[in-house]
């Protein structure tokens, strides 16, 4: 399809204006077909940007290596350009929107010379769903087109739903590397220098402008940019939730089904939980989504969730058959790998994959030949795969994908889980006393900074409320208020119950007490029963904790261990409360809802009673 065939006058004009600004050699409107996907992949192979992988081991798959300056989200170059600085809040970078658009318009001028402009109509969520939203991304990157094919629903069907007057989120993207006459990329990943990279969000006008990066969430604008930063603003204004949450379907031995969501900061096992293989006989866990949940209220007063994405953009290092067999199976074909190692036999390799690499040599993520590793570990700083190496795989290929994962009506949510990586204080699991108590728990989520991070904060708790700190498109004080308002304006008995989990408690020797992975199904079973009005529990100052016999113990976990990870650490919690009161809540100023201070006071009072 060409631009003249677009039936939406506003969209047609927007594209024409972009063409005039960015000066591409040609323009294509994406139709979402397999032939189009295959053509994008072939374009990148021909340009020396992609390497076809072993067709027997990874059929239909390719490997990309990005520029070393373009390997992850660039939070310090990510902006929430609200009209008022106070609306962006203290946890976001703010620039005046008029000033930012002026800067970026200059950068966009002629930025696509020598390249093709691709117009990607995409749906976040099943096409036509009442919970879904439509975006249109303009890009000069065939890598982005191919990834968007996997991560979203792209093409003609989206334009049909949009019609001639539908609402869409306009998304500009350019790698920022125009080509001169006859110039080619010569196998070099195209991007702009770091100080020219901008990932910008304009909440009031629902626009996304990205420049200079070709990588991940900086360039696949349906992902964090639309699905969380802009969608969180839409959700606030329209009365729903756009959250950084996995969605699970759990079936008990009696055939009863419940759906739960979970929000966890990075490195807390979110994807592993999303694709968990339970060890409890008769229990079944299936995946609806691994990263993002959009939830709206149904006519019955319950929250219904969709996974707005169509694929997984997973971190490769650390993924193996023990930690996440279903993820390994999901990316066995038709997948895009970025910044992984390449073995002599055309397979991908990364740290903690579970085995060494075959042959004598391996090509690392920078394109250098190295001796093939005999084990699956590398010294820090000498990794063969970049620590943020990724796989992009269709969700439909996941062995444990739930049949409801594309239900346009969504699935009814019974529980929210919040969690962080906390070696002490926070118990294995506890249930909030009420909705407002649950919002309080979500607002103080954090993980302890470890020596694995270069930081002067080792041993301190880095707070990541609701695991949304990098992704909330407005002031987090107002975000907390939105959650509180939803609880006040709906029947609490129909709202999901809220739980806090912590798989990462350690003993005095620094070893994990709880084995995690599939053993976490024991905790999920208790949560499931609590949502059914069952499950043994006792009320404590921090919420409802399982009784000692409520959760069956895994092998190697003693009764003393269970007592340790299910106790209320009074001294630890007093220190937690003091840290929240002194260092965390004051960040949000007078926008911090008074209800959260009331909840903090109440917990402190219960400890001092």
Residues carrying an active site annotation: 268
69 burial (CB, 10 Å; 0-12 / 13-18 / 19+) is middle
3-state secondary structure of 508: coil
CA dist., res. 530 & res. 431, Å (int): 9
The residue among 596, 597, 588 whose CA lies nearest residue 92 is: 588
Cα-trace Rg, the chain: 24
72 burial (CB, 10 Å; 0-12 / 13-18 / 19+) is middle
DSSP string across 577-609: HHHIIIIIGGGGGGGS-HHHHHHHHHHHHHHH-
Q: What are phi and psi of 192, to 5 degrees?
A: -100, 165
165 burial (CB, 10 Å; 0-12 / 13-18 / 19+) is exposed
Q: What are the Cα distances from residue 98, in Å, to 123, 204, 458?
A: 28, 12, 39
The size of the chain, in residues, is 609
Q: Which region, left, alpha or beta, applies to residue 598 given φ > 0 means left and ψ of -120 to 50 means alpha?
A: alpha
The residue among 548, 520, 558, 536 whose CA lies nearest residue 279 is: 520
Task: Find the farthest-apart pair of alpha carbons in the chain and give their distance in angstroms, rounded.
Answer: 78
């Amino acid at each position: 399809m060409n631009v003249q065939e677009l039936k939406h006058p506003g969209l047609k004009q927007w594209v024409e204006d972009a063409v005039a600004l960015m000066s591409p050699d040609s323009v294509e409107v994406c139709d979402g077909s397999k032939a189009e996907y295959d053509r994008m992949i072939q374009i990148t192979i021909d340009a020396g940007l992609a390497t076809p992988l072993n067709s027997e081991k990874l059929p239909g798959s390719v490997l990309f290596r990005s520029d070393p300056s373009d390997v992850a989200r660039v939070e310090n170059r990510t902006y929430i350009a609200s009209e008022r600085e106070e609306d962006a809040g203290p946890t976001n970078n703010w620039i005046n929107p008029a000033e930012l658009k002026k800067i970026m318009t200059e950068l966009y001028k002629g930025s696509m010379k020598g390249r093709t402009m691709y117009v990607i109509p995409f749906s976040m969520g099943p096409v036509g769903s009442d919970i879904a939203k439509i975006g249109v991304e303009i890009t000069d990157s065939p890598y982005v087109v191919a990834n968007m094919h996997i991560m979203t629903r792209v093409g003609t069907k989206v334009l049909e739903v949009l019609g001639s007057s539908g609402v869409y989120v306009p998304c500009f993207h350019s790698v920022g590397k125009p080509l001169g006459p006859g110039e080619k990329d010569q196998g070099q990943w195209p991007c702009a220098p770091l100080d020219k990279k901008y990932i910008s969000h304009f909440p009031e006008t629902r626009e996304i402008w990205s420049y200079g990066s070709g990588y991940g969430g900086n360039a696949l604008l349906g992902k964090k940019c639309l699905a969380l930063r802009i969608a969180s603003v839409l959700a606030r204004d329209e009365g729903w939730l756009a959250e950084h949450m996995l969605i699970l379907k759990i079936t008990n031995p009696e055939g009863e089904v419940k759906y739960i969501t979970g929000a966890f900061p990075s490195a807390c096992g979110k994807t592993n939980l999303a694709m968990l293989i339970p060890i409890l006989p008769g229990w079944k866990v299936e995946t609806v989504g691994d990263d993002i949940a959009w939830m709206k209220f149904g006519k019955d007063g319950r929250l219904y969730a969709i996974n707005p994405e169509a694929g997984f953009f997973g971190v490769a290092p650390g993924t193996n058959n023990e930690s996440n067999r279903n993820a390994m199976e999901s990316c066995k074909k038709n997948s895009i790998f970025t910044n992984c190692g390449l073995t002599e036999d055309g397979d991908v390799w990364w740290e903690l994959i579970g085995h060494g690499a075959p042959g004598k040599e391996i090509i690392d993520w920078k394109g250098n030949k190295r001796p093939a590793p005999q084990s699956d570990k590398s010294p820090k700083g000498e990794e063969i795969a970049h620590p943020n190496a990724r796989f992009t795989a269709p969700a439909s290929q996941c062995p444990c994908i739930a049949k409801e994962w594309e239900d346009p009506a969504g699935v009814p949510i019974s529980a929210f889980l919040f969690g962080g990586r906390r070696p002490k204080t926070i118990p294995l699991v506890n249930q909030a006393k009420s909705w407002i108590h649950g919002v309080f728990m979500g607002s103080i989520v954090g993980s302890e900074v470890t020596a694995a991070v270069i930081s002067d904060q080792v041993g301190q708790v880095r707070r990541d409320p609701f695991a949304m700190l990098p992704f909330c498109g407005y002031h987090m004080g107002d975000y907390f208020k939105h959650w509180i308002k939803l609880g006040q304006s709906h029947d609490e008995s129909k709202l999901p119950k809220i739980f806090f989990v912590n798989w990462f408690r350690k003993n005095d020797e620094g070893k994990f007490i709880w084995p995690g992975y599939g053993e976490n199904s024991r905790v999920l079973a208790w949560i499931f029963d609590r949502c059914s009005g069952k499950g043994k529990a006792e009320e404590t100052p921090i919420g409802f904790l399982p009784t000692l016999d409520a959760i069956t113990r895994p092998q190697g976990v003693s009764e003393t261990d269970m007592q340790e990870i299910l106790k209320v650490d009074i001294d630890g919690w007093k220190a937690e409360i003091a840290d929240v009161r002194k260092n965390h809540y004051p960040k949000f100023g007078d926008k911090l809802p008074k209800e959260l201070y009331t909840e903090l006071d109440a917990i402190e009072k219960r400890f001092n009673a």
